[in-house]
Structure 1
Amino acid sequence: MTLLYSPDEDDLRSAVRSLLADRASSSAVLARVESAQPYDLDLWKTLAQEIGVAGLLVPEEYGGAGATAREAGVVMEELGRAVAPVPFFTSSVLATKALLDAGAGEELERLAAGEVTAALLVPLAASPYKILTEGLVAGAEAAEVHLRVEEGVLYRVEGATVEVVPSLDLTRPVARVSGGERVARLGEVDLGEILGFGAALLASEQLGVAEWCLETTLAYVKQRYQFARPVGSFQAIKHRLADLWLDVVRARAAARNAVAEPSPISTATAASWNSSVAVHVAEEAVQLHGGIGMTWEHPVHLYLKRAKADEIALGTPGDHREALAGLVGLD
């Protein structure tokens, strides 16, 4: 097992990053979140059908790529770097994992082909350690297929009422979902395991958020002058950036370990560390950008909001640390 990126993973990263640079620039994302349709469904269609990310985790027998969590983690990193408003995490990670565990081949084929988008109707604030039935769901309004777990069984439901509500993360809307009639029994699943898988992949997104914040801040302090010197030349700023760099390096190792060797321990480690790192690096980015970092026009606030929303998604850092302590035998 290696934490290094393979040539195939590098190629996948290059394809996704190139598309996002062209179609999901900071100005485009800012304009999108102010519109009536926060999700960029045209971008999602291109990602899903032309690059094939929708079927990344789907076995080849169902028309997918038959890839692993490692490749999905690379996509999550790039989407985090762009805070791209697309439902990859909710559809191609959470919903797809549920369908895989249930053995729902027909539904997987539709997802892999990019014909439909799915959403698992579980509150984003739920965690592998605390299953919630009431709360706000991400990705529901962008999905044609709604899935619900009841007493360990996955069902497809129709007719659910989806009410979009204000979200801290403008690039990942949430909704209150109620009602709906069960129309198909898809199979038995372990919801805690599904949420654990999602938490492991979310750590890769948090890594992408932190990397963008660090790189953008580093570029800014190199060209921002005070007292006839670049701000980045001051020793205090150098020390802060060096500490952030070390945090991000550790976050990369934790995220890669979580997708390369999935386990409750690697997931809890990555989820607890990366959640805190993403928030800290984003907060430092806002402060080190000075006055411009506090404006709506600069995209750094989108990254801080994504980091804060991710921090409470699928388990808080405290939830994961508490679980980790039990897993390694600490009081």
Structure 2
Amino acid sequence: MDFRLTEDQRALRDGVRALLTGRFGPEALRAAVARGGRGLDRALWRELGAAGFFSLRLPEADGGAGLGLPEAVLAFEEAGRVLLPGPLVATHLAAGRVAGAADGETVVTAVHGGLVEWLDESDTVWGDAGDPSGAVAAGAVAAGAVPLTSVDPLTPLHRIPEDLPAGRFAGPADALAVLLTAAEQLGNAARTCEAAVQHARTREQFGQPIGAFQAVKHLCAGMLVRVELARAAVYAAAVTADPVDIAAARLLADDAAVRGARDCLQVHGGMGFTWESDVHLYLKRAWVRARRGGPVTESEDVLAEDLIAGTGR
């Protein structure tokens, strides 16, 4: 099976990257952090809708691009690289099912493991991908939700009690949500690897770049290996859409993102732990995203059951 990108897929990836780096660069990222998870940029959300980010997989007859899951994974990988905030996965999965989601006019969030992101800034809380009637007005849910202190300043969180209407939701199209989150984690890991290498090339100690030291070389090499393993797994799962492949991709992408951000902090040294550096933001986002897919043990159980069944995947 050939997982190399086609010319059209590379063009899509490059186009999304150009849009996001131009519209959500370092200054916009810091401005969003300063807002502390308040005031989601609705103009940017509509721009994403106009660019087809949310309607990417909708049929052309329904106003979408008619592309597939591999193309969606490429788009979400780019979103992960820039730490794009907002309930991107839920809105993407709701496109074509919840009015206004496809064109970015409606911000849709979802409940995952009793937690919901960006509740105060969303219009709709959506639970069951197969049941559009499962959508609930965000205001009705927020009235009984419990706000939490999120470690990630770009991901405000609420806990949803089970007795609320949205409390029964398991989350929209769980497997697809897990895969798209893994794609975001992959983008996160790739960016921290690049940042570590760039710093290792330019930061000097004892008259030479720190990248010349074996310990730093090993950190960067380990990051790159984890990124490429995760990329192969995520791209493969996007082609097969198999739950077992998705579980493996999730575990590898979470590992690459969390460990990659930690190693990037080590390469940066003391300055990496300061608020002025962006490295800590990537680590915090990786931690929060790792919870979106449910407990790690759930994905491990999927893989274990497949091994026990002897399917050979």
Q: TM-score, normalised by structure 2?
A: 0.87
Calculate the aligned-residue CA RMSD, in Å.
Answer: 2.6
Number of the residue aligned with 1:45: 46
Shift of 1:263: 0.5
Q: Does 1:274 align with 2:253?
A: yes
Paired with 1:216 and 1:143, the residues of 2 have a C-alpha distance of 32
Shift of 1:143: 2.5
Q: When the two structures are aligned, how many residues end up with a matched partner?
A: 302
Higher relative contact order at CA 8 Å, sep ≥6: structure 1 or structure 2?
1
Q: Does 1:67 align with 2:67?
A: yes
Number of the residue aligned with 1:132: none
Query: Map of 1:12-27 to 2, 5 A cutoff?
Result: 12-27=12-27
Secondary structure of 2:155's counterpart equals coil
Q: Structure 2: 5+ residue runs without aligned partners? A: none
Query: Map of 1:81-230 to 2, 5 A cutoff?
Result: 81-93=81-93, 95-96=94-95, 104=97, 107=98, 110-120=100-110, 122-123=111-112, 126=113, 135-149=114-128, 154-158=133-137, 159-162=139-142, 164-177=147-160, 194-230=173-209
Share of identical aligned residues, percent? 32
Q: Are residues 181 and 26 of structure 1, via their aligned partners in 2, closer, same or farther at CA, if it must alter by over 3 Å?
A: same
Shift of 1:142: 3.0
Paired with 1:150 and 1:269, the residues of 2 have a C-alpha distance of 23
Q: Structure 1: 5+ residue runs without aligned partners? A: 127-134, 183-189
Q: TM-score, normalised by structure 1?
A: 0.83
Residue of 245, 249, 257 corresponding to 2:236: 257
Q: Are residues 119 and 311 of structure 1, via their aligned partners in 2, closer, same or farther at CA, if it must alter by over 3 Å?
A: closer
Shift of 1:154: 4.4
Give the aligned residue type for 1:160.
Answer: A
> Which structure shows the higher strand fraction?
1
> What whole-Å deviation, never above 9, does each CA across 1:237-263 have from its counterpart, x for those lacking one?
112211221111111101101111110
> What whole-Å deviation, never above 9, does each CA across 1:150-193 have from its counterpart, x for those lacking one?
997842323514255321222222224578779xxxxxxx9588
